[in-house]
Structure 1
Amino acid sequence: MNRLVRLALASGALLLTTLPATLSFGQGAPYTVVETGRSYTRLQDAVDAIGEGRGTIRFASMRFADCAVQGKGDVTYQAQVPGQSVLDGVACEDKAALVLRGRNARIEGMVFANIRVSDKNGAGVRLEHGNLSITQAWFRDSEQGLLTGDDPQGSIAIDKSTFSRLGTCEGSGCAHSIYVGNYGALSVTRSRFEAGTGGHYLKSRAARIEVLDSSFDDAAGRSTNYMIDLADGATGRVVDNWFVQGRDKENYSAFIAVAAEHRNHTSQGLVVDGNNARFAPGIDRKSAFVADWSGDAVKLGANTLGTGLVRYEKR
């Protein structure tokens, strides 16, 4: 595993600035429902065509000033070429580019950029209900990457995705790169968080958590807080990740916070192991790698910590 690698899709998406001269599927419309072969000029029409069923919407390689609400069904949102389909700057319901409250949703190879709304919670994806999986996606330059409501029976899985230049504390509360509500389970694997612009990189109220093989690069962050905030407590694993804390922090007192707000979930047996954490070059300060308000037996393994980092602090 190379914990410092950036996903290739990020550089590919940056190169995309104009609509291709031709599209290679359907009738030239940018959205095609794969199962029927029908194409649509509006994303909402493609979502509505799937309705309560199951289907895949394939996106052309272009930027879209468009958004959609999925109220039912099982929908996959798939870039024809990973990193080259960009939902850019438009939010439905003053919330997000995709507002999801169906049974299931999958996002593959998509880019979400420049989403801002009146309450400062503009997100690439707002998940209000149901299960969600995200792979090889890029969330950038928005107030929030992924924001969810509560669904204790639901699960979220994020793999090989990048979260860049996200977060703000300009609203009534803070927005974050990822903010997951009271979900049953959250898994984040092989993903990258970088250059946050406020709030936490990953804030979760899910009962079960897995953060594996991912990197949190705060060296270019601005006014950021924790890298991982398990605000209500959680069981699970935070294993084999790479952390660098930058200079410009609103709160530098901890890298990982456990149950800092509530003890709604047990943290008994939460495993934090195999991680590498340090300050960016030239920074001389003290911080806790894990700050724990839970009172439960958190299991800290063999983490590699830089100068100035305290392994564990009970608060």
Structure 2
Amino acid sequence: MRALVLALAAGLLVASPATASSYDDRAQAPRTWRVGPERDLKVPSDAAAVAGDGDTVLIDAGTYSGDVATWTQDDLTLRGDGGRAHLRADGNDAQGKAIWVIAGDRTTVDRIELSASSVPDRNGAGIRQEGTGLVVLRSWFHDNENGILTGADPDSDVVITRSRFFRNGSGDGYSHNLYVGAVRSLTVTGSWFADADTGHELKSRAARTTIVGNRITDGTATASYSIDLPNGGLSLVAGNVVVQGPRSENPALVSYGAEGLTQPSSTLWVVNNTFVNRRTSGTFVALAAGTRAHLRNNLLVGPGDLTSAPADARANRRVGLGGFVSPASDDFRLLASSPAVDRGTRVPVRWRPRWEYVAPATLARRTLVGRPDLGAFELR
């Protein structure tokens, strides 16, 4: 899976261009369909009607107003070509659910922007994921009622990298920037989450959740939890910058098991994050009773308790704003004068943060020299 993601991001996978006759001939090797105002297929929904399993749909950069689609093909790649392809709902929806309903399995979405999805049920999504397996690369989701909303699928793995989610949520507390149901796994890296409207920045009911090397910040929005893992699950939250805003409607930055520890594992590792609380009080990591939580090398900025329940906690330190590059702009890289430098403890390899967030939405390898630094960044 990782090789596939990297190959797609580098643009290394290229299929043969389609010919006019191929519209009616499906018994061929996977092919490429091109979409754009000057092409035979004018809008993405035209491609949804003709593409087959394993095909690639290249969508010319630009805005496609009011175009919505249901994708039923398996092993499909949907990619913006020459820049992001912007699908703006403008009052339309597919099946009363989303701009794109993805019903096929193992879909890749690359360099797509989806915005302004709203439906009568108030849970309109940029993507409603109904198939098994989804990879999202370099894509934007904003001003929807949900950025991405998935169902429950114990065989599904959802991977999101180098993407942006901002200003999603309908204001009712039940819709979020990202809402992943009870899937097998969720992995989020190198991404930026911001300004959720009343809901959570990121909510995952997955059996395994890995959140590494991201920036999650409320700004002045009325977001709730920054990270919500309501049913537990084997989870790693590592190397993230998490900033709770002054208007947040929930005092916890990370919440684990708030709706019951229903997943087989109740183990949580919280490692080398920089947590910033801009409220007047709060809890950095709220834990349900029975959680096996391990907290290592986290930096705490602002008021609040480290946890709400007993936990295995080592080398977590509260600091002021003086040791960071530019806290006002959410740049929490370390200065050489920071008390976080060389103050960390060793963490088992499986739970170490291997990535650092790089603004605005990418990531870099975290290189450890000697004793680890505290927080989301190693001093360079």
Normalising by structure 2, we get a TM-score of: 0.69
Whether the 8 Å contact between 2:60 and 2:83 is mirrored in structure 1 is: no
Whether the 8 Å contact between 1:50 and 1:73 is mirrored in structure 2 is: no
Whether the 8 Å contact between 2:18 and 2:32 is mirrored in structure 1 is: no
Q: Are 1:35 and 2:36 counterparts?
A: no
Identical-residue share of aligned pairs (%): 30
Partner AA of 1:313 in structure 2:
S
Task: Write out per-residue CA displacement over residues 214-264 of structure 1, whole angstroms, 9 at most, x where no aligned residue.
Answer: 011112212x21011101111131000001111212222x11111101221
Partner of 1:68: 69
The Cα shift of 1:36 comes to 5.8
Q: Are 1:128 and 2:123 counterparts?
A: no
Which SS does the other structure have where 2:55 is aligned?
strand
Whether the 8 Å contact between 1:205 and 1:230 is mirrored in structure 2 is: yes
Which SS does the other structure have where 2:48 is aligned?
helix
Which SS does the other structure have where 2:291 is aligned?
coil
Distance across 1 between alignment mates of 2:160 and 2:148: 10
Structure 2 gap ranges (5+): 1-16, 20-29, 311-380
Partner of 2:51: 50
Whether the 8 Å contact between 1:167 and 1:175 is mirrored in structure 2 is: yes
- Give the one of 269, 275, 278 matched to 2:276: 278
Which SS does the other structure have where 1:40 is aligned?
coil
Partner of 2:225: 226
Distance across 2 between alignment mates of 1:269 and 1:94: 37
Distance across 2 between alignment mates of 1:44 and 1:264: 39
Whether the 8 Å contact between 1:267 and 1:298 is mirrored in structure 2 is: no
- Give the one of 255, 260, 263 matched to 1:262: 260
**Structure-2 change in CA distance of 1:129 and 1:245 (3 Å):** same
Correspondences of 1:216-255 after superposition (within 5 Å): 216-222=216-222, 224-252=223-251, 254-255=252-253
Whether the 8 Å contact between 1:69 and 1:98 is mirrored in structure 2 is: yes
Partner of 1:193: 193
- Give the one of 149, 157, 160 matched to 1:155: 157
Correspondences of 1:109-128 after superposition (within 5 Å): 109-128=111-130
Whether the 8 Å contact between 1:278 and 1:309 is mirrored in structure 2 is: no
Distance across 1 between alignment mates of 2:287 and 2:276: 19
The Cα shift of 1:300 comes to 0.9
Whether the 8 Å contact between 2:33 and 2:57 is mirrored in structure 1 is: no
Task: Write out per-residue CA displacement over residues 151-202 of structure 1, whole angstroms, 9 at most, x where no aligned residue.
Answer: 11110000000111111243xx610001111100000000001112121011
The Cα shift of 1:94 comes to 1.2
The Cα shift of 1:46 comes to 1.2
Partner of 2:282: 287
Whether the 8 Å contact between 1:213 and 1:241 is mirrored in structure 2 is: yes
Partner of 1:302: 297
**Structure-2 change in CA distance of 1:72 and 1:34 (3 Å):** closer
**Structure-2 change in CA distance of 1:96 and 1:294 (3 Å):** farther
Distance across 2 between alignment mates of 1:264 and 1:39: 50
The Cα shift of 1:35 comes to 2.7
Correspondences of 1:72-83 after superposition (within 5 Å): 72-83=73-84
Which SS does the other structure have where 2:47 is aligned?
helix
Whether the 8 Å contact between 1:96 and 1:115 is mirrored in structure 2 is: yes
Distance across 1 between alignment mates of 2:306 and 2:137: 32
Distance across 1 between alignment mates of 2:132 and 2:289: 28
**Structure-2 change in CA distance of 1:55 and 1:256 (3 Å):** same
The Cα shift of 1:72 comes to 3.4
Partner AA of 2:88 in structure 1:
D
Task: Write out per-residue CA displacement over residues 86-139 of structure 1, whole angstroms, 9 at most, x where no aligned residue.
Answer: 000132111111101111211101101111111111110000121000010011
What RMSD, in angstroms, separates the aligned Cα atoms of the two structures?
2.1
* Larger Rg over CA atoms: 2
Partner AA of 1:305 in structure 2:
L
Partner AA of 2:239 in structure 1:
D
Whether the 8 Å contact between 2:33 and 2:47 is mirrored in structure 1 is: no
Distance across 1 between alignment mates of 2:131 and 2:257: 24
Partner of 1:92: 94
Distance across 2 between alignment mates of 1:269 and 1:174: 25
Whether the 8 Å contact between 2:77 and 2:109 is mirrored in structure 1 is: yes
Normalising by structure 1, we get a TM-score of: 0.83
Distance across 2 between alignment mates of 1:103 and 1:312: 39
161-170 vs 146-155, which deviates more?
Answer: 161-170
Whether the 8 Å contact between 1:194 and 1:220 is mirrored in structure 2 is: no
The Cα shift of 1:307 comes to 2.7
The Cα shift of 1:150 comes to 0.8
Distance across 2 between alignment mates of 1:273 and 1:129: 32
The Cα shift of 1:267 comes to 4.1
